[in-house]
Structure 1
Amino acid sequence: MPMAVGVIETLGFPSVLASADAMVKSAAVTLVYYGIAESGRLIVAVRGHVSEVRTAVEAGIAAGEQVKTDTVITHYIVPNPPENVETILPIHFTEKSQPFSIF
Structure 2
Amino acid sequence: MNNYKALGLIETFGIVFVLEAADAMCKAADVDLIGFENVASGYISVLVRGDVGACKAAVESGIRAVKEMGSEVYSSLVIPSPHHDIEKIISRYSLETLNP
Q: TM-score, normalised by structure 1?
A: 0.81
Aligned to 2:24: 22
In the TM superposition, 1:1-103 aligns within 5 A as 3-68=5-70, 70-86=71-87, 88-90=88-90, 96=96
8 Å Cα contact 1:6-1:77 kept in structure 2: yes
| CA separation of 1:95 and 1:12: change in aligned 2, threshold 3 A | closer
- The gaps in structure 2 that reach 5 residues or longer are none
The answer to which structure has the higher helix fraction is 2
Q: Which runs of 4+ in 1 moved over 4 A?
A: none
| CA separation of 1:46 and 1:37: change in aligned 2, threshold 3 A | same
8 Å Cα contact 1:12-1:71 kept in structure 2: no
Count of paired positions:
94
Q: Distance in 2 between matches of 1:57 and 1:95?
A: 19
How far did 1:91 drift? Answer: 5.5
RMSD: 2.1
| CA separation of 1:26 and 1:66: change in aligned 2, threshold 3 A | same
- The gaps in structure 1 that reach 5 residues or longer are 98-103
Q: TM-score, normalised by structure 2?
A: 0.83
How far did 1:71 drift? Answer: 2.2
What residue identity is the alignment partner of 1:34?
F
How far did 1:72 drift? Answer: 1.2
| CA separation of 1:89 and 1:2: change in aligned 2, threshold 3 A | closer
What residue identity is the alignment partner of 2:31?
V
Q: Distance in 2 between matches of 1:2 and 1:54?
A: 16
